[in-house]
Amino acid sequence: MKTIEHWINGSPTAGTSPETAPVFNPATGQEQARVALASAADVDTAVTAATAAFETWSESSLTQRTQVMFAFRQLLVEHEEELGRIISAEHGKTVDDARGEITRGREVVEFACGLGDVLKGSFSDQVSRGVDVHNFRQPLGVVAGITPFNFPAMVPLWMHPIAIATGNTFILKPSERNPSAANFVAGLYKRAGLPDGVFNVVHGGKEAVDAILTHSGVEAVSFVGSTPIARYVHETATAHGKRVQALGGAKNHAVVLPDADLEFAANHITAGAYGSAGERCMAVSVAVAVGTAADGLVEILERKAGEVKVGPGDVPGIEMGPLVTKASQERVENAVGTAATQGATVVVDGRGLKIDGHESGFFTGPSLLDHVTTEMDAYKEELFGPVLAVVRVDSLDEAIGVINANPYGNGTALFTGSGEAARRFQRNVKVGMIGVNVPVPVPMSYYSFGGWKDSLIGDSPIHGPEGIRFYTRPKVVTTRWPQPKQQVTAGFNFPTSS
Q: Is 226 exposed, middle or buried (0-12, 13-18, 19+ CB in 10 A)?
A: middle
Strand partners, 286: 253, 389
Angle, to 10 degrees, between the axis of helix 80-91 and the axis of helix 62-78? 70
The C-alpha atoms of residue 197 and residue 213 are separated, in whole angstroms, by 19
Which of 27, 75, 98, 281 is catalytic? The answer is 281
If residue 293 lies in a helix (H) or strand (E), which one and from where to where?
Answer: helix 293-307
**Where on the phi/psi map is residue 390: left (φ > 0), alpha (ψ -120 to 50), or beta?**
beta
Q: How many CA atoms lie within 13 A of 291 on its CB side?
A: 10
As a whole number of angstroms, the longest Cα–Cα distance in the chain is 91
Other Cβ atoms closer than 10 A to 76: 21
**Where on the phi/psi map is residue 413: left (φ > 0), alpha (ψ -120 to 50), or beta?**
beta
**Would residue 113 show up in a list of annotated catalytic residues for this protein?**
no
Task: Report the SS3 class of residue 247.
Answer: strand
Q: How many CA atoms lie within 13 A of 372 on its CB side?
A: 31
Task: Report the SS3 class of residue 275.
Answer: helix
Point out the residues that are catalytic. 281
